Amino acid sequence: MGRARTASRLDGLGTTIFAEMSALAVATSSINLGQGFPDTDGPAQIIEAVVAALRGGANQYPPGPGIPALRAAIAAHDSRFHGLTYDPDTEVLVTTGATEAIAAAVLGLIEPGDEVIALEPYYDSYAANIAMAGGVRVPVTLRPPDFRLDVDRLRDAVTRRTKAILLNTPHNPTGAVLNAAELAAIAELCLEHDLVVIADEVYEHLVFDGVHTSIASLPGMRERTVRISSAGKTFSFTGWKIGWACAPPELLAAVRGAKQFLTYVSGAPFQPAIAQALALPDSYFTDLRDGLRERRDQLAAGLAGLGLEVFIPAGTYFLTTDVRPLGYPDGVAFCRDLPGRAGVVAIPHQVFYDDKAAGAPLVRWAFCKRPEVLAEALQRLATTFG
């Protein structure tokens, strides 16, 4: 054996669960309710706008921060939906998906040894990004049945070394949407301890019960928040990888500083199209949400009918179940068996936890699929477990 080639900062990160489970879905011809991507594309007119941009010559490097039309559209969107005012020239940055915005924010703001608090279960790239920056991940666990934030636990998690809270709401994988009291408590802690919030709000338009409030809109928080979102979820174009970050100039400069050496710029022909998409009428956004709510209810009713304990999500396009009623104490074992046994793929929560026992029996199912696909998946599950 030669010496190890892989740098130790990647120790334990392995292959992302989404790649593993999607490959398994293909290999077993399973219905993929694992990785979160819709099986219906976004608006045809927005696809046509990309084609027109390609034919119109948007084929070379766009400006580093993003084309002016898209930065203006992002600022207009945030004003329209959140009452937030961002200067498109100094406070808006276009990125390669929210994934890059989060990575650039962590790399641009976190020093080695800084502690970063994240709600557990946490989206898998958070752990990787914090590790790449040499930071220390400090999880605060959300627990079933309602996955509310335990504000006392959050307060206890803050130390002298805490630099930032990496806050995801609406929350993947639980579907929890932080409420006014929870957001106010987080804001109070941030002001008291001079913390920055990296706010991952990619599911901002996918809220079925209650409302999504950006933490940036709370008093004193705009100055210390990097607000991140993405066209992937809002417009059902996850493969285009157009995301963005909005923040006051000093914070945004840190994110931009890292982004320019990660990808330099992002997808030229997609940018004018997403600028158009952001200006779609309110009915686009409410129709998307209402359609997904119906599919949430379809999948929830079907899974509950199989005897699973279902935790109804207020937002996102994921729902969580406890799989112990099907005879599986361990969601990882369940998800490894499921494609072979039933021809369906789901995602085990456990991979999103430091506290493995807390996530062990929980499994996430994506419902951003056509009703007939959900029906077929439920039929397969009923044949196996019914």
36 interacts with ligand GLN by CB under 6 A: yes
Phi, psi dihedrals of residue 64, rounded to the nearest 5°: -50, -50
Helix (H) or strand (E) holding 271: helix 270-278
Task: Report how far residue 369's alpha carbon sits from residue 376's, in angstroms, rounded to the nearest whole number.
Answer: 11
3-state helix, strand, coil in the chain (%, to 5): 45, 15, 40
13 interacts with ligand GLN by CB under 6 A: no
Q: Among ligand PMP, ligand GLN, none, what binds residue 35 when CB lies within 5 to 8 Å by partner kind?
A: ligand GLN
Task: Report how far residue 142's alpha carbon sits from residue 148's, in angstroms, rounded to the nearest whole number.
Answer: 6
Q: Among ligand PMP, ligand GLN, none, what binds residue 97 when CB lies within 5 to 8 Å by partner kind?
A: ligand PMP
232 interacts with ligand PMP by CB under 6 A: yes
Give the nearer residue to ligand PMP in terms of CB position, either 234 or 321: 234
Longest dimension (CA), the chain: 61
Q: What is the 3-state secondary structure (H, E, C) of 8-32?
A: HHHCCCCCCHHHHHHHHHHHCCCEE
Question: Interaction with ligand PMP in 25-54: which residues (CB under 6 A)?
Answer: 36
| Sole binder of ligand GLN in the list 96, 129, 169, 172 (CB under 6 A) | 172
Closest approach, Cβ 228 to ligand PMP, in A, equals: 8
Contact 345, 335 (CB under 8 A): yes
Give the nearer residue to ligand PMP in terms of CB position, either 172 or 321: 172
Task: Report how far residue 100's alpha carbon sits from residue 103's, in angstroms, rounded to the nearest whole number.
Answer: 5
Site stretch for ligand PMP (CB under 6 A), options 209-217, 236-244, 247-255, 272-280: 236-244
Could you list the beta-strand ranges (E) of the chain: 31-32, 92-96, 115-120, 136-141, 162-168, 196-200, 225-230, 242-246, 309-311, 318-322, 344-345, 347-348, 362-366
C-alpha distances in angstroms, 163 versus 12, 118, 137? Answer: 24, 12, 11
* 124-132 helix and 97-109 helix, angle to the nearest 10 degrees: 30
18 interacts with ligand GLN by CB under 6 A: yes
| Sole binder of ligand PMP in the list 22, 30, 32, 168 (CB under 6 A) | 168
DSSP 42: S
Give the nearer residue to ligand GLN in terms of CB position, either 86 or 147: 147
Give the nearer residue to ligand GLN in terms of CB position, either 162 or 172: 172
Give the nearer residue to ligand PMP in terms of CB position, either 30 or 169: 169
Give the nearer residue to ligand PMP in terms of CB position, either 234 or 381: 234
200 interacts with ligand PMP by CB under 6 A: yes
Which spans of this chain sit near ligand GLN (rule: CB under 6 A)? Answer: 16, 18, 35-36, 172
Which spans of this chain sit near ligand PMP (rule: CB under 6 A)? Answer: 36, 97-99, 123, 168, 172, 200, 202, 230, 232, 238, 241, 243
